[in-house]
Structure 1
């Protein structure tokens, strides 16, 4: 099939690789424009752009698809279908209508739960036991289109980074399957009940809420690993928690209970397993405390 692929982050790369390996004719790859990165703030292409260029596929990086010239260029590709995976730009109606079979999206949740920008993090924060991938047809609404394929997977104790990697591979397999059966699959409308929205993650959400239960704080740690990183502040420095476990313990929320950096929460306590100071690598709490004192009884913010 003649395809345009539209995606930006690492999550989208396995799907690009999979449809390329399946022998589809990828007429063009669309990705968000390069962004400043690193200390020198040089312009860095997205993971999808870098991978597409390595595969020798033409790449377009428009700031928007609302420009009539961009829409004309897209229509002229004469596509069978557009495959979308975490592209990050709104697709106007002329773009949605251009391919013969429309636009198919790899969405990281079991729709209609967690429509929107951050379905993986929101599922972890909410304590969901399972999530998955939905291959859906795109329309003007926010992730409201009909479902072609749905597969589930357990969340367990995975971080957002681990779960994203797993779902990226699952989504790639499912998209290749959907394309191979496009004339056979009968898409079904999403259920009207069970709709939730996965709002974009704001940086302030990553501050650990020790007034909540230890289980909720531990979900924060996993949901914000690797980005933006759940954190607390002490002595004017921000400390990230990369891994932690709920344990027994009690005290004023945010209070350090012992010499191992166990922290009291609204219910029970949180025992950090892996932490990180600004500009440093990951370390154990024991390694942290050897160079950065956080005495028992300290109240963390």
Structure 2
């Protein structure tokens, strides 16, 4: 069986999202043997993968699936030669990647910018981090798909400039790609041309 983390870190249902949301800079793909416990089986093969500072969960998923396909092919070839050996997982460093709950997807702008950025990219494209803001006199939900760390300070959730830089509890993030309800993912600058969000307005 293939598992998308460096076990025993991130056993469970959402290892890719949890790794990014935790700010991990490295993960990997493992070939392991299934046991009764949750992802506790011995490991036969591993390939590590760097997590870029702006990489989304979707991008990491695609990269790990390519790595996993190659690993599984090699594992099957070794198995045919009776050359596939397994090693027990370490007993230290165990963490669990629980399934993403919808209740945790809303952005908390009072958190530090690094955590907000990791939250956004860790939930992109699915299920998607989100916030609310007033557009055309109506409160609207906005899905946040891509961001980057930026300079700036202000009241958490406050828009700091005309590039959709948003203040956090400390520091700021600049939103790069967003999606309105019922719409398609678009670049933040394209979104701003239609939404008319300005400096001093607030995301909540």
Same fold by TM-score greater than 0.5:
yes
Match of 1:188 in 2: 87
Give 1:79-158 correspondences, 5 Å limit: 105-156=1-52, 157-158=54-55
Match of 1:99 in 2: none
Q: Per-residue deviation at 1:287?
A: 2.2
Deviation string 1:34-89 (CA, Å, 9 cap, x unpaired) is xxxxxxxxxxxxxxxxxxxxxxxxxxxxxxxxxxxxxxxxxxxxxxxxxxxxxxxx
Deviation string 1:3-48 (CA, Å, 9 cap, x unpaired) is xxxxxxxxxxxxxxxxxxxxxxxxxxxxxxxxxxxxxxxxxxxxxx
Match of 1:164 in 2: 61
Give 1:34-49 correspondences, 5 Å limit: none
Whole-angstrom CA distance in 2 between matches of 1:139 and 1:300: 46
Aligned length: 197
Q: 1:262 aligns with which of 158, 161, 165?
A: 165
Q: Per-residue deviation at 1:149?
A: 0.7
User: Which consecutive residues of structure 1, in runs of 5 or more, have no partner in the other structure?
Assistant: 1-104
Match of 1:286 in 2: 189
Match of 1:300 in 2: 203
Q: 1:216 aligns with which of 115, 134, 138?
A: 115
Whole-angstrom CA distance in 2 between matches of 1:258 and 1:150: 45
- RMSD of the alignment, in Å? 1.2
Match of 1:45 in 2: none
Q: Per-residue deviation at 1:280?
A: 1.4
Whole-angstrom CA distance in 1 between matches of 2:70 and 2:189: 42
Match of 2:106 in 1: 207
Whole-angstrom CA distance in 1 between matches of 2:37 and 2:193: 53
| Bigger relative contact order (CA 8 A; separation at least 6) | 2
Q: Per-residue deviation at 1:228?
A: 0.9
Deviation string 1:209-239 (CA, Å, 9 cap, x unpaired) is 2111111111112111110111110122111
